[in-house]
Amino acid sequence: MTLPRKIGAWYWFASSLARPVAFLICKREWRGRSNIPTTGSAMIVANHISMVDPLLFAHFVFMSGRAPKVFIKASLFKIPFLGKIFVKTGQLRVPRDSQVISNVMEEAKSALSRGDLVSIYPEGTITREPNLWPMKGKHGAARLALETNVPVIPCAQWGAQQLLPPYSKKFKFFPRPTSIVHAGPPADLSRWQGKEVTKEVLDEVTEYFMGLITALLEKIRQEEAPKIRFVYEK
């Protein structure tokens, strides 16, 4: 396993706290880590199944040789000490107010321009699909990918929901679950290069990302996803 280099004291401190916990609470089945670029700007898009999966997924990415910048709800930045770690490690604060969501997207673009790796959940929240299949995504990941032209690596994860079910606050440590994460090859966005970034294009790219993630998850779960993608309306 390749650990990231030159990531700063705060990231090393955070990882020294988080990695032992991640190793302790879950077994691991990791595949495709060689698809994650070890240097340079890149994006990762993945499904979201539990409030604890950002920790387990960040562990996968970190042990693949990168220190990810992750989109995190603004409310979590208010937690004493944890919020300070998020700030010091350059994590991306996602506001509740959709009118200022553009600010965090600009921060993500700046991170990518510096050669960082940004991890994003296209669904924007934990899936509400009854069987935890990826639901319809939002445009943020597609817009960021098209406007920055960086490699986009699709990933699928499974198992975190056994540790902490969706929207639950009660952990289930026994039996010890397995955190399964598979990374696929980079997405091919060539068919959209040079096109105006319209709603139609964003819809197409978003569904393309969700399709890649779903295909990886079907292999993990050894079953087919529903033909019609679930749509969550607030």
List, for residues 10-56, the tens digit of each pLDDT value: 898 999 999 999 999 999 999 999 999 999 999 999 999 999 999 89
Q: Quickly list H helices, 76-198.
A: 82-88, 101-113, 140-148, 160-163
Average pLDDT over residues 200-204: 98
Q: What is the per-residue pLDDT for 195?
A: 94
Is the pLDDT assigned to residue 98 strictly greater than 60?
no
CATH code linked to domain 27-221: 3.40.1130.10
pLDDT bucket at 5, cuts 50 / 70 / 90: low
**What ranges do the domains of the chain cover?**
27-221
According to DSSP, residue 196 is labeled -
Of 2 and 186, the one with more pLDDT: 186
Relative to beta strand 152-158, strand 178-183 is antiparallel
pLDDT bucket at 233, cuts 50 / 70 / 90: confident
What is the radius of gyration, based on Cα positions, of the chain? 17
Helix axes 140-148, 199-221, angle to 10 degrees: 110
Is the pLDDT assigned to residue 99 strictly greater than 60?
no
With contact defined as beta carbons under 8 Å apart, do 128 and 135 qualify? yes
Average pLDDT over residues 177-194: 97
Is the pLDDT assigned to residue 141 strictly greater than 70?
yes
Q: What is the per-residue pLDDT for 1?
A: 61
With contact defined as beta carbons under 8 Å apart, do 129 and 144 qualify? no
pLDDT bucket at 161, cuts 50 / 70 / 90: very high
With contact defined as beta carbons under 8 Å apart, do 74 and 95 qualify? yes
Tokens 């569904």 belong to: 207
Is the pLDDT assigned to residue 97 strictly greater than 80?
no
